[in-house]
Structure 1
Amino acid sequence: MILSIDLSSDVPIYQQIRDRVVEAIAAGDLAEGSALPSTRQLAGDLGINFHTVNKAYDLLRQEGLLRLNRKSGAVVQRDPGSGPPPPGFTEEWSSRLRTLLAEAVAQGMDGTAVLEACGRVVGSFGTGADMAPGTGPGAGHGVGPDVKSGMGRGSQGEPA
């Protein structure tokens, strides 16, 4: 997988890194046990401060998606095949989902359009859980332009 961030975005860089890693895990580009680049390596590849990458990795650790230690570095701890989510996850996630869906409705999207968009996104993860006709892997999975860093199962920056 290729990690893309947009340095001119209003979304903080650490949040973009966190979001792209979560998306890669969901899409199957990063499986349980996959090693991520060190904070210094990824920071150098992206041309950012390593503390920014550290903040993103720490968020992922708090969310239970990464395991961090000095010896093995950052390793994916959970993926779609890891079983049901940990206790409390669904309630907290549902609250965030409600707000995200409310944003779409507040901007004028109707329920059908919101569900179709949700189906395209879920379908882009290759889970087979498409909710809208004509969706599939890769549909609606855009990441910003910009700075890219190789990350995942590929070698030396090649896409996984």
Structure 2
Amino acid sequence: MFIEIQTNSSVPIYLQLAQQLIEGMVRGELNPGDSLPSVRAFAADLGMNMHTVNKAYHYLEEKEFIQIVAKSGVIIQPNGIPKASANQKRQIADQIRPLLAEGLVLKLSEEEMVGMIHELVQNIKEGK
């Protein structure tokens, strides 16, 4: 799996890393039970601070996408990731809402925004 960090992005590096690992899960590049590199090894491979990798891992652990097992390592949720709960759906909707409002202010139609979402979903699945 190829990780590309954009240092000039307004998105924090730890979040870029976490989001790319999530996309790898979507594409099946990372599967339930797969091991991830140790914080130290991953940081060295990516040329970034260990604290950044650690923060990304804890973000993913909080979302229950991975398990961090002391002295054993980091693994993708071994039992698979369950379908989103009502609370998780609500959280995602709360995050999307401001972006949709901004699109509406910019006179994007509902159809244009749905088309953008469809295209983004396809790009994630295809690794673009």
TM-score, normalization: structure 1?
A: 0.70
Cα-to-partner distance string for 1:103-129 (whole Å, 9 max, x where unaligned): 333344322111111112223454xxx
Report percent identity of matched pairs.
Answer: 31
**1:80-95 correspondence runs (5 A):** 82-86=81-85, 88-95=87-94
| SS, match of residue 88 in structure 1 | helix
Task: Tell me which amino acid in the other structure corresponds to 2:34.
Answer: S
Indicate yes or no: 2:19 matched with 1:19: yes
Cα-to-partner distance string for 1:111-156 (whole Å, 9 max, x where unaligned): 2111111112223454xxxxxxxxxxx2xx54xxxxxxxxxxxxxx
The change in CA–CA distance for 1:78 and 1:3 in structure 2 (over 3 A counts) is farther
| SS, match of residue 11 in structure 1 | coil
Asked if 1 retains the 8 angstrom alpha-carbon contact of 2:65 and 2:81, the reply is: no
Alignment correspondent of 1:67:
67
The change in CA–CA distance for 1:34 and 1:92 in structure 2 (over 3 A counts) is same
Alignment correspondent of 1:116:
115
Q: CA deviation at 1:87?
A: 5.4
Asked if 2 retains the 8 angstrom alpha-carbon contact of 1:35 and 1:74, the reply is: yes
C-alpha distance in structure 1 between counterparts of 2:4 and 2:78, whole Å? 21
- How many residues in Structure 1 have an aligned counterpart in Structure 2? 128
> Higher RCO, 1 or 2 (CA under 8 Å, sep at least 6)?
1
Alignment correspondent of 2:55:
55
Higher share of residues assigned helix: 2
Asked if 2 retains the 8 angstrom alpha-carbon contact of 1:36 and 1:76, the reply is: yes
Alignment correspondent of 1:150:
none
Asked if 1 retains the 8 angstrom alpha-carbon contact of 2:7 and 2:13, the reply is: yes
The change in CA–CA distance for 1:59 and 1:120 in structure 2 (over 3 A counts) is same
Q: CA deviation at 1:56?
A: 0.7
The change in CA–CA distance for 1:66 and 1:8 in structure 2 (over 3 A counts) is same
Ranges in structure 2 where 5+ consecutive residues have no aligned partner:
none
The change in CA–CA distance for 1:86 and 1:68 in structure 2 (over 3 A counts) is farther
The change in CA–CA distance for 1:101 and 1:30 in structure 2 (over 3 A counts) is farther
Deviates more, 1:26-35 or 1:14-23: 26-35
Task: Tell me which amino acid in the other structure corresponds to 2:48.
Answer: I
The change in CA–CA distance for 1:4 and 1:85 in structure 2 (over 3 A counts) is same
